[in-house]
Amino acid sequence: MTGGSGVVVIDNGGGLLKAGFGGDKDPIAVVPNCMAKPPGGNTKKWLVADQLQADDVDVTGMTLKRPIDRGYLINTEVQREVWERVVRNLLQVDPSNSSLLLVEPMFNPPALQHTADELVFEEFGFNSLCVADAPSLVHLYEASHQPTRFRAQCSLVVDCGFSFTHASPVLQNFILNYGVRRMDLGGKALTNYLKELVSYRSLNVMDETLLIDDAKEKLCFVSMDVPGDLRRARLSFKDNPFRCSYILPDGITYKKGFVKNMDEALRYCSLPLDQESDRKDHSVETNKFEDRKKPELSQNEFALTNERFLVPEMLFHPIDLGINQAGLAECIVRAVQACHPYLQPVLFESIILTGGSTLFPRFTERLERELRPLVPDDYQVKIIRQENPILGAWRGGSILASSPDFESMCVTKSEYEEMGSARCRRRFFH
């Protein structure tokens, strides 16, 4: 057993569950927070968490069960199976003599807090529990790593995760909850949208959530100039800088899906960011005229062109998808405007991006470009993306769990048994 602190830190994300010991730098387990069953009725066995990541698992047509719906822990049955696997097999700890630091979503309804407590104390029998929320942990991590940048002790944490996106102002490790704004868009919605687009345009992949997830992570990027990129995406085959194809596993030679030609897929990176040099592009393209031929598309691959940047585009303009909510930049501005005027310039200067969906290439640059016109021009806008946006909240949790006054923040099992969930939760200001 590593860590030795005896504190288990779990960041229970909708997509990935991060678990490890307080005091460590990195979590021991980063596993999908779901159960999956291969197609066909003959196998009854559900694959849990890390079993899904094994190399020889063919993820085609898997049925998925997730414990988390729209970011909130709903299905404790599934969650118990996943935790069982993570705690007993991966971390190999006995819950009855360890504490748990659990990262919960903000504004968790009381009913769900009670079920979470039940799961922690009654089913697993953890010794004590501390509940924290992701933005304050992210702030804690960043503030302890770059103390000079966050001298004002406040930041705006933009957590763009799997289920939803929150922009939350944090002051001295506490969330200003009147300033939090939520957008109901995250990695899951983007994957589903890409799944629909591919299914309508080339190949029916409606059951291939995990494959499309992988394709999205590898191929999608944020466009700096949407109209220009759309024009370029209209060019045919060889000239099209965005066109690339993703090969689906056939179950015999390939067990995993992959990008057909990664160099081809990364061509967009070399494109100029501004429209002016469009004409130069054309002259280069005509040289390649001779090797232009119709590429043959086999049964088990699909090609992506404009989908590659139109899908992440939804985070900036959800209205295009018919979701009547403001985009990320506006969401940030409104979160800041809800705070005290003295805080506003400082918040704009310390925007921290975290969460898996911020990993799209050029996400930060685009957000800055969108945000700049919306912010008063005597304020500075500074955006940093965490070094590892997926693990950010977990690392903050690890720091919190190893701090000397962690014990005093916890609710112990005996306190829970005596007073019940509602009373114990007051300690966490719920």
**In the complex, which residues of this chain contact another protein (CB under 8 A)?**
69-70, 72, 74-77, 96, 107, 109-112, 118, 122, 125, 177-178, 180-184, 196-197, 200-201, 226-227, 230, 233-234, 305-307, 310, 317-327, 330-331, 334, 417-423
State the amino acid at position 406 in one-letter form.
F
- Contacts of residues 194-200 at CB distance under 8 Å and 24 or more positions apart, as own/partner, are 194/220, 194/307, 194/311, 197/307, 197/310, 197/311, 198/302, 198/304, 198/307
* Minimum separation from the CB atom of position 409 to another protein (A): 22
When the beta carbons of 210 and 311 are compared against another protein, the nearer one is: 311
When the beta carbons of 230 and 384 are compared against another protein, the nearer one is: 230
Among 79, 64, 126, 118, which residue's Cα sits nearest to residue 101?
Answer: 126
Chain length of the chain: 430
When the beta carbons of 309 and 406 are compared against another protein, the nearer one is: 309
C-alpha span between 97 and 389 (Å, rounded): 31
Strand positions, DSSP E, 22-140:
29-32, 35-37, 47-48, 63-65, 68-69, 72-73, 99-104, 128-133
Contact 228, 268 (CB under 8 A): no
* Minimum separation from the CB atom of position 196 to another protein (A): 6
* Minimum separation from the CB atom of position 357 to another protein (A): 15
* Minimum separation from the CB atom of position 74 to another protein (A): 5
When the beta carbons of 41 and 373 are compared against another protein, the nearer one is: 373
When the beta carbons of 22 and 71 are compared against another protein, the nearer one is: 71
When the beta carbons of 71 and 356 are compared against another protein, the nearer one is: 71
Q: Is 107 left (phi over 0), alpha (psi -120 to 50) or beta?
A: left
* Minimum separation from the CB atom of position 310 to another protein (A): 6
When the beta carbons of 85 and 413 are compared against another protein, the nearer one is: 413
Q: Is 58 left (phi over 0), alpha (psi -120 to 50) or beta?
A: beta
* Minimum separation from the CB atom of position 311 to another protein (A): 10
C-alpha span between 294 and 209 (Å, rounded): 29
* Minimum separation from the CB atom of position 324 to another protein (A): 5
C-alpha span between 305 and 219 (Å, rounded): 10
* Residues 231-265 as b or e (16 or more Cβ within 10 Å = b): ebbebeebbbbbbbbbbbbeeeeeebbebeeeeeb
* Minimum separation from the CB atom of position 122 to another protein (A): 6
When the beta carbons of 309 and 363 are compared against another protein, the nearer one is: 309
Residue bearing tokens 């190949």: 203
Among 322, 67, 289, which residue's Cα sits nearest to residue 185?
Answer: 322
